[in-house]
Amino acid sequence: MNLIRSFTLLLVSVVVATPALAQDRRVPTSGAELRLSYAPIVQRAQPAVVNVYAAKTVQNRNPLLDDPIFRRFFGVPGMQPEQMQRSLGSGVMVDASGLVVTNNHVIEGADQVKISLADKREFEAEIVLKDSRTDLAVLRVKDGREKFATLDFANSDELLVGDVVLAIGNPFGVGQTVTHGIVSALARTKVGVTDYQFFIQTDAAINPGNSGGALVDMTGKLVGINTAIFSRSGGSQGIGFAIPANMVRVVVASAKSGGKAVKRPWLGAKLQAVTPEIAETLGLKLPNGALVANVAPNSPAARAGLKPSDLIVAIEGQTIDDPNAFDYRFATRQLGGAAQIDVQRGGKTVKVTVPLETAPDTNRDEIVLTARSPFQGAKVANISPAVADELHLDSQAEGVVVIDLADGGTAASVGFQKGDIILAVNNQKISKTSDLDKASKISSRLWRIVVVRGGQQINVTLGG
């Protein structure tokens, strides 16, 4: 069974916030009630759901053109034909001025973005903010001179399994489509498409092209952004996942404030899941909670008194089943205040108050390595607390880390991965990005590289 982000990819041949009240839940008492229609809800929500068209220009590179003799007789790389690659998804208008939220994977790498309203009108849009950690992006309609229909956010924490929901989007590019189902499960943490694993699962039909579309409740409010499906065939098989509205609200708020990145609270502690073996050691009846593995010095966790071996069981009264649940609950807290966390320590429940502040991000010094070397096409940065938090690195890690890889770059082709920490190159210690940039420019027939991946040190030897 494959996990598929539900958007459609086409080539050049094809042109292409106030909390809601809980739903009124009751069993129908008559046949007449069973014949009631969803039409009023759809008519209210549909105008705020848009189609998103993204396009980027890609170069068809022929490796033979790296040969100077071939270039002399047959042309140069600049003369290669270009190809337009297009993707299709959905989005939701969340501000009357023309602010649209969609999935990051729908518009990733796009040179041009357009949106189309339910009434077929099209507008060019600009990317305001991208957040790969949640797979969300915010767009703004260019030269918007009207007030657009919008969807209000619901409080996604009020959803219950069994609640009726509607999915609105543009599956397979056929046009705006509405499907209905129920909330099949909440707090799904093993989906694997974003850093924050806390999804709403629904059996409402979601297909390629639905990505970024709305999941709405029976009050017509937005409870989630549809983002992925489990499927063997590529089509809907009744298992779809949506990002909860409370997380979407955080990303949209950052965009409205003018930020280019989402600001989130930083704990400054590494958490691990409680296995049955750990639960038995701690004397727990169930393997629930998030176990503190280590605490970074001078971090909010350290100042609050959190200690290694503490077991986090709740935040602001909400039960924590695993580290993913904590990450989501903590990330959706508002900056500037404090969060009360319940921990079990020595058989007793202790309450600690953690200040909600962002991670320090000094001396990141991001660069893209372009010299001919195994690192060509890698984007690297110095490890700051913010970088460590973003990449789930040890909070006390030091050095230079790969934060992105260009498609088709040498670094990607030789097997470097996002999150790899480069410790040494040809016996030269790498402490900062300028060290790696300098080392990558030294011609060598053999490259001896020391990398840390997933906490394990790896010695790599590559031919030049």
For the annotated binding site for substrate, the residues are 105, 135, 209-211
Annotated active-site positions, please? 105, 135, 211
CB count in 10 Å sphere of residue 306:
22
Query: Is the CB of residue 42 less than 8 Å from the CB of residue 218?
Result: no
Residue corresponding to tokens 């629930």: 288
Distance, CA of 236 to CA of 226 (rounded, Å): 12
Distance, CA of 19 to CA of 417 (rounded, Å): 40
- Binding site: residue ranges? 105, 135, 209-211
Residue corresponding to tokens 């020595």: 346
Instruction: Give residue 105's region: left, alpha or beta (phi > 0; psi -120 to 50).
Output: alpha
Query: Is the CB of residue 189 less than 8 Å from the CB of residue 324?
Result: yes
CB count in 10 Å sphere of residue 37:
7
Residue corresponding to tokens 């041949």: 13
Distance, CA of 440 to CA of 65 (rounded, Å): 23
Q: Which two tokens stand for residue 339?
A: 């969060």
DSSP string, 249-304: HHHHHHHHTT-SS-------EEEEE--HHHHHHHT-SS--SEEEEEE-TTSHHHHH
C-alpha distance from residue 359 to each of 279, 297, 333, 417, 455 (Å)? 31, 12, 14, 23, 21
Q: Which two tokens stand for residue 235?
A: 């089509």
